[in-house]
Structure 1
Amino acid sequence: MWVLAAWVLLGTVTAGSAQLQFNAIKSIEINTNEKNVILPCLVNNLQLNNITFLFVKWKLRGQEFFSFDGYKPELRRAANFSSAKFVSPAELPKGIASLSLDRKEAPAGNYTCEVTESNREGITTVELIYVRSSSSSPVESILITLFMILAIIFYWSQLGVVASKFEVKYKKKVSLIVAGGIVTVAAAVGFILFLSDGFTPKTQAGLGLVIIPAVILVPTLYILLRAVFENNLPHFAIVLVVVKSLGYLIAVVGFALCVSAYTRSHGSVVIAGLAVFAFVALASLIYVIIIGSSMTDHQPPRKAVEEPLNAHIAT
């Protein structure tokens, strides 16, 4: 009779602990100057404490990148997570399934750890957040924002000068306004996302909205200069377009380096590109105001020339 009671009691205990339990860690913050990342996964109610019965899976945003099968035993890693390894393989039977990663292979986001012991299993999620290192200055973020704002202001100013002093077709004028509006709105949203702390996916997206749509301001500069000088585009005007293109390219390279490193450590490259970008916008604005205005001062408007000619033909 006592054997039956013990069996019932054991079954009750086992059923009550069928779900593995973890030390809940919702998020970890990693300084951007750290070389390695430790993703915690601590099970506190393993029973067998035998690696043979353990199966561990790590996922990032639902995609599996690391797994361990203790029965075989077998360890698998995704190609882009080659540095992934258990912090302490010897303590895995005790429930320590924490993972160590090279920071360059560990993007910010939600990581899930799934552990199975025989017929018992459990899952825990931890969010990896990168925060700005003490060596990085918020001045970089301010400069990126400032140079992009100046570039946009100079564009709108140049568009206003060209539209008021030179003949621009209505459709072309509307296209230039729409193009400037796209860049302005995208940059405004980007600033809101980018100026937050750390370099999370949100701030990466913000920097992307600031940099990528700005490519529109390169061909629009060429169109504005063509509206002023028509087919006789001076060499200096061509140089402005080329230099602005190079500035944009530098900014894009800096953005790509920041994203690939998951930090703002290459923010200086972005700043250099946007500084060139904004300087060319200012130079082209001054060029249009001074040179373009002198052209209109010394050359009669087309309508003034065409009206006497049409009157002569009519007589």
Structure 2
Amino acid sequence: MWPLLVALLLGSFHCGLAQLLFKNISSVKIDHCKNIVLIPCYVSNLEAENINELFLKWKFGRNSDIIFVFDGYANKSAAFYKFSSAHIFPSEFLKGNASLNVAKEEVKNGKYTCEVTELSREGQQTVDLQYTDGSLFTLKEHISIIILPFLTLILFWAQFGILIQKYKSNPVNRKTIILFATGLLITIVVITGASLLIPGGFAKRKGYGFAFLTTPSVIPVFLQYHKFKPAIGRTLHTVIMLTIIQAVGTVLTVAGLYHSSLDCVPRYGSILILGLAIVALGELFGLIYMKCFDPLIEFQ
């Protein structure tokens, strides 16, 4: 009787070992910060002592397309289906780490299946990978970065309206056309940038959105001469002051965006917002000066 029980217990034990077990990781989220994406797969009861006892296969999508194979016996690997950068570390695989490393540009949302074979034992695990809706800035910074370029845009068009009325400009005047065309360009760029920040987009798309929103901050610096040229002799100090103010704002804006794009932690948003605010402040000062102090002369 006892030998029979022992045999049954040993038989059950060996049957249990026939199945490889995996750490319970059903899904993973990645963000824009990672250049190399790790798709996890960890075998918890691997017993192989030599890499030639192992075989690994990674599949992707509903059709289970094979994207990567590692043959331990031949000690060779191959990547397929537009996952050319896919690779593992054999020394880590021998310890149970069958995670796949893939370049961010090649990774897609979807289900990835890891199939591991160890001599007569095998097992598989499926991981659902999704990109997170990451952002370079906090929500409050996000809102400010959208509002300030539109404020600058409104102040610019207000100045343009004063130039048309106060300086009795000819609608087809060359300088009027330059300012109108530039204002139209800024308007298109800002609206495009704001549309790229609609929730649900990927981080790369949002990065383009922030770039579109901040790029127009450079343009007002070069427009001061055209806006004040009718009275350049009497407004030279004003032109210089506004140009310096907006140049400082532009430098801060570009620096804030540049450092934010390099850092995964949103901590440079305040610099970018300060730059955008200074650019808008320069437009406000220009509007006040045109309205209250600038002499009434012909805009030529």
Q: Aligned letter for 1:40?
A: I
Q: 1:51 to 1:131 in 2, by over 3 A?
A: farther
Secondary structure of 1:194's counterpart equals coil
Q: How well do the aligned residues superpose, as a CA RMSD in angstroms?
A: 4.4
1:165-180 mapped onto 2 (5 Å cutoff): 165-168=166-169, 170-180=173-183
Q: Distance in 2 between matches of 1:208 and 1:43?
A: 40
| Deviation (angstroms), 1:278 | 0.7
Deviations 1:113-160 (A, max 9, x none): 9x9x9xxxxxx9966445359xx6311111111111110000000011
Structure 1 stretches lacking a partner, 5+ long: 1-23, 71-88, 101-105, 118-123, 303-315
User: In structure 2, what is the equivalent of residue 282 of structure 1?
Assistant: 284
Secondary structure of 1:46's counterpart equals strand
Q: Aligned letter for 2:205?
A: K
Deviations 1:46-67 (A, max 9, x none): 38862752326699x9774x75
User: In structure 1, what is the equivalent of residue 216 of structure 2?
Assistant: 213
Name the count of aligned residue pairs.
239
1:41-60 mapped onto 2 (5 Å cutoff): 42=41, 46=56, 50=72, 52-55=74-77
Secondary structure of 1:96's counterpart equals coil
Deviating 4+ runs (over 6 angstroms): 24-27
| Deviation (angstroms), 1:25 | 8.4
Q: 1:183 to 1:36 in 2, by over 3 A?
A: closer
Deviations 1:11-46 (A, max 9, x none): xxxxxxxxxxxxx989723497xx997520659973
**Larger CA deviation: 165-174 vs 249-258:** 165-174
User: In structure 2, what is the equivalent of residue 39 of structure 1?
Assistant: 38
Q: Distance in 2 between matches of 1:128 and 1:56?
A: 25
Give percent identity, aligned residues only. 20
Greater helix proportion:
1
Q: Distance in 2 between matches of 1:277 and 1:139?
A: 19
Secondary structure of 1:55's counterpart equals strand
Q: 1:149 to 1:93 in 2, by over 3 A?
A: same
User: In structure 2, what is the equivalent of residue 242 of structure 1?
Assistant: 244
CA contact (8 A) 2:217 2:279 kept: no
CA contact (8 A) 1:244 1:280 kept: yes
TM-score, length-normalised on structure 2? Answer: 0.63
CA contact (8 A) 1:49 1:94 kept: no
User: In structure 2, what is the equivalent of residue 139 of structure 1?
Assistant: 140
CA contact (8 A) 1:189 1:206 kept: yes
CA contact (8 A) 1:56 1:69 kept: no
Q: Distance in 1 between matches of 2:30 and 2:87?
A: 24
Q: 1:91 to 1:283 in 2, by over 3 A?
A: same
1:9-158 mapped onto 2 (5 Å cutoff): 28-30=29-31, 39-40=38-39, 42=41, 46=56, 50=72, 52-55=74-77, 64=85, 89-91=91-93, 96-99=98-101, 109-111=105-107, 128-129=131-132, 131-132=134-135, 137-158=138-159
CA contact (8 A) 1:54 1:93 kept: no
TM-score, length-normalised on structure 1? Answer: 0.61
CA contact (8 A) 1:27 1:129 kept: no
Q: Distance in 1 between matches of 2:263 and 2:206?
A: 14
CA contact (8 A) 2:71 2:77 kept: no
Q: Distance in 2 between matches of 1:56 and 1:262?
A: 32
